Structure 1
Amino acid sequence: MTESKKTSASEDIEELFHSAKKLLNDPENRAEGVKLLQQAAEAEYVEAMYEWGKYLIEGKEQILEGIEWMTKAADAGSIAAMKQLSHYYSQGKGVAKNEEQGEMWLRRAAEAGDLESMKSLSWLLLDQENVAEGEKWLRKAAEAGDVSSMYQLGYFLLKGEVLAQNTTEGEMWLQKAADRGSNEARLVLARAKEPAKKSSKIYILGILFIVAVMVLFKIVK
């Protein structure tokens, strides 16, 4: 098949899938939509394989066949399918609960660059007391722009909870989160600076007291 014919065939399948999606939202033509969705899935259009698998699992309760289609979509690169499989296996929804399978699919979604999965994986690993790898994924999520991960990383580093304490880096991540709208980060930063302000005031008052005593001593003398 020439390159132009491949492109044309791909566009036809994509159009078939979008037609299916429209018909599925129309109660009068839903049956036709299901038929077209199956055709697009059998033509190995990735989004269609995912949607067809989900339809079989949640709409028809044909669990085994649905999982097969969902797995095909995930293996073809569908992050949505990876996340859905992780959810099914982790929660035992429609399938036997299998936490190892759930973690495996969550990891694959994280490795594919999904921010939500990076964050979820970091929490899962930290909960398992796998601190080194949990911190790695929390950092990846923070560095990729997830504000809640910036806040959590900053908090852990500032407080020395879960991760080794590093107040300078902790404040840096909290500031990044605060700059992006995190009220929690602003509050933690404000509280962190309060002791320093109090210490500074106490120091100044102490100096003034010493000076006053010295002046008084000279006057008396």
Structure 2
Amino acid sequence: MRTRRYRHLTSPNQNLDSFLDILTNTVGVLMFISLFITVVAVESSTIVTTPLVSNTDKKPRFFEIRNNKISYIDDEEIDRQIALLNRNLPECSVPEIPRDLDNYNYQFYLNRVQEYENCRRQTVQSFRQFKGQTENYQVTFYGADALIYEPLTPETGESYKTIAQTDSDYNEILEKFDPKTNYLAFLVRPDSFSAFRAARKQAWKAGYNVGWEPLKQETPIVFGSNGRTVGVQ
């Protein structure tokens, strides 16, 4: 009787090092993602989000909130001071080119052009030297067509702990304006969100719409020739 021989198939030994490396890396990435999600979830309560902005026809009344103090930015007073400066400046009239350019008219025209240029230089210099002042700020021109507002002192402003008092400066300002035609726009420094929340709560109670914009501690307050926009939120 013939014995049947069975052929045994043998598989080559497999090297699992690469597979283990991939598995280890995948687990590491998943752990990192899990840690990141946990950190974000923990810190989400401290992140201040900016609400959506809505359009409005109301006029903004600006306040800076720094060092947990509230300061009114009286840009209307600065507009008044600039208008007064402008009224006291000479009127610079552009000379017309004479039709007959003989020697006399030509020289006369050159003299008028020189007078106009001198007038314009005087006007520009007067605006460069302008120093306006409100109750809280000193204001000068910043560049050709912007104004920079700088606090008069480091202690400028009213503490948010006293603004709820009936005779506080903040309350007097709110009573001076009409919430039907005005809204409050707050420029908020990173150290002063407690003051912002208190000022906003009081503004809402008085019937005002509120807008706000976060501002870095070192960023100056600059209003351009077209003003500054902080929408209602």
TM bin (shorter chain) = under 0.3
Q: Looking at secondary structure, tell me which structure has more helix per residue.
A: 1
Q: Looking at secondary structure, tell me which structure has more strand per residue.
A: 2
Structure with larger Rg: 2
TM-score w.r.t. structure 2 length? Answer: 0.24
TM-score w.r.t. structure 1 length? Answer: 0.25
